Chains A and B, each alone.
Chain A
């Protein structure tokens, strides 16, 4: 294929704007719709849901969404790549199949199902064979947390998705694949690029990085000249117009709000960046210092010049484990002396927690309106603040002290400093903390286990 393809972003995280993929498909003129659902801890949430109900464990929103847009996808020949499958990609794919049948589309929809990323059942075997799965940040061995692990998944690259597309899948459903792979796969499928063409891998990776957070590349959360961004009631999610030579445009659908500019793309490029010369994915390594951006008309930016290096021998593994409990309580103190009252209230709470002999790993107090976002950099507040929100958080390995803490906020209303309100939400909730453990594993331990199935509606 020698002409360009258009890959549209439809979802930047599980919980993103529900209308975005619908608007992308309605506007048309796109070949692929990529939808990223998986943040680092999403898998563990899904694992928890699956342990209660074996039919759950994927992004539930995805099935009704597909039911809503499938007729249009089929009519327009738009294909979907999505990691909505979470820890139950088969259940997700079957949900989409059922939706297709319900719509009378039996025989006209093929689903590509990618599995093999889930390591839960293989974990003990891998550890026994010497895979330490050390925490990439702290170096601790995974045996330290073995009993508390809730989910473990390898990040797969684009290749199984390319296979699914090559075999005619209209909807590709996966578990833990990289966000960027969802955009790379359509390019490698359409352009027949060689998988060791590292500059092409890097180009597609950068394209994927730009659109994987949805509207964050097209005017959402844009700091530069934010007051001038118009039409955010209907933001146009970004679209990659990819060309066979590896260069691409970032744009958005006509008639939508937001903005695509060098500034909007640059802000997204630096988001969650580490060493810019070495952006590692399962498919290759991209050098972000080679990216060239140029304005190419209204809401259109040309991206070119991207260089890459060979992929590494390892894949990243994301492990989620149970850590402990936390709770956050808030109250609002009003003028006059709002900040002083809030500080006095904090002292009372800490004193009562100490008198009860409760032990916490941490107690953190923030004063919203004074220091919650910038800490001491915000400087001394005005003595005349209209109000200050007291925000106290606690964390402990045991549930009991956190539970008790949640009872210590409301009493302040009648037993603490005056002019207090904002307690209508009731007692703070105790939250279970599921923490994230990034690790590396040899690629050849994972790839032979990856499978691609084609399911017919």
Chain B
């Protein structure tokens, strides 16, 4: 990890500081889809909101730091880019492919399934939205 992780987020399901609104914890698979690939020893993960209204939540919750923490020990450095036009975020996971390409011994030497590994992450969504979209609690 290149950066020290900032203090942890407030525990889910509690009232969020300042907003006074309830939230629920949801796995990203119910909020986004995506695809991943490789460039050398870097895997890219494109994360796409399943619905446009979910995109701002991804922007706010799926931060560079949280993704770096999610992939701790599996990537050396994480970058994030925003594509609001596609309701998508693009993450670069540097040093994630064990040398990458033909050098790597990994089953997933080309990072093809890192996208689904990111979908394991959980984030908070407003309770009202979670109820309306019937998002399963993690």
Main DSSP-derived SS at the B contact region: mixed
Contacting pair A274 B33 (CB below 8 A) = no
Q: With the chains together, A131 CA to B34 CA distance in Å? A: 39
A46 to chain B, nearest CB (A): 15
Q: Does A185 contact B (CB under 8 A)?
A: no
Partner of B48, one of A266, A326, A393: A266
Task: Give the chain B neighbours of A221 by CB distance below 8 A.
Answer: 35
* With known contacts A223-B35, A293-B86, A376–B44 Cβ distance under 8 A: no
Cβ-closest chain B residue relative to A213: B37
- Bound CA–CA A292/B33 (angstroms): 19
Measured as residues with beta carbon below 8 angstroms from the partner, the interface class of chain B is 35 or more
Instruction: Please tell me if A421 contacts chain B, counting CB pairs below 8 Å.
Output: no
Contact flags (1/0) for B34-46 with A, using CB distance below 8 Å? 1111111100101
**Contact code string B90-130 (vs A, CB < 8 Å = 1, else 0):** 10100000100111011110000101110010000000000
Residue in chain A with minimal CB distance to B117:
A374
Q: How long is the Cα–Cα vector from A368 to B107 in the complex, in angstroms?
A: 9
Q: For the complex, would chain A's binding face be called helix, strand, loop or mixed by DSSP majority?
A: mixed
Task: Kindly report which residue of chain A lies nearest to residue B96, judged by CB atoms.
Answer: A375
In whole Å, how far is B79's beta carbon from the nearest beta carbon of chain A? 8
Binds B, one of A103-111, A158-166, A351-359, A431-439: A431-439
In the assembled complex, A288 has its CB within 8 A of some CB on chain B: yes
Cα distance, A263 to B33, chains bound together (Å): 9
User: Given A263-B33, A373-B113, A272 and B106 touching (CB < 8 A)?
Assistant: no
B117–A267 CB distance below 8 A:
no
| Residues in B whose Cβ lies below 8 Å from that of A435 | 101-103
What residues on A are CB-neighbors of B74 within 8 Å? 375-377
Given A41-B102, A266-B48, do A376 and B73 touch, yes or no (CB 8 Å)?
Answer: yes
* A352 and B40 alpha carbons, distance in the complex (Å): 33
Determine if B58 is an interface residue (Cβ-Cβ < 8 Å): no
Is the CB–CB distance between A276 and B83 below 8 Å? yes
Q: How far is the CA of A335 from the CA of B117 in the complex (A)?
A: 26
Q: Which of B50, B101, B120 contacts A41 (CB 8 A)?
A: B101
What band does the interface of chain A fall in when counting residues whose beta carbon is under 8 Å from B?
A: 35 or more
Query: B50 CB to closest chain A CB, in angstroms?
Result: 7
Which of A41, A377, A393, A395 has most B Cβ within 10 Å?
Answer: A377
Residues of A with C-beta under 8 A to B107: 366, 368, 372-373, 391
Return 30 A-B CB contacts under 8 Å, by A number.
A137-B41, A224-B33, A263-B48, A266-B48, A267-B35, A269-B46, A269-B88, A270-B83, A270-B86, A270-B88, A270-B90, A271-B36, A272-B37, A272-B44, A273-B44, A273-B46, A274-B44, A276-B83, A289-B84, A290-B85, A292-B85, A305-B85, A328-B105, A362-B98, A364-B105, A366-B106, A372-B108, A374-B117, A374-B120, A433-B103
**Which residues of A are interface residues toward B (Cβ below 8 A)?**
40-41, 137, 221, 223-224, 263, 266-277, 288-293, 305, 323, 326, 328, 362, 364, 366, 368, 372-377, 391, 393-395, 433-436, 438
Other contacts beyond A221-B35, A374-B116: 19, CB < 8 A: A40-B101, A41-B102, A223-B33, A223-B34, A267-B35, A269-B46, A270-B34, A270-B46, A270-B47, A271-B37, A272-B38, A273-B46, A288-B86, A291-B85, A293-B85, A362-B98, A364-B105, A374-B117, A435-B102
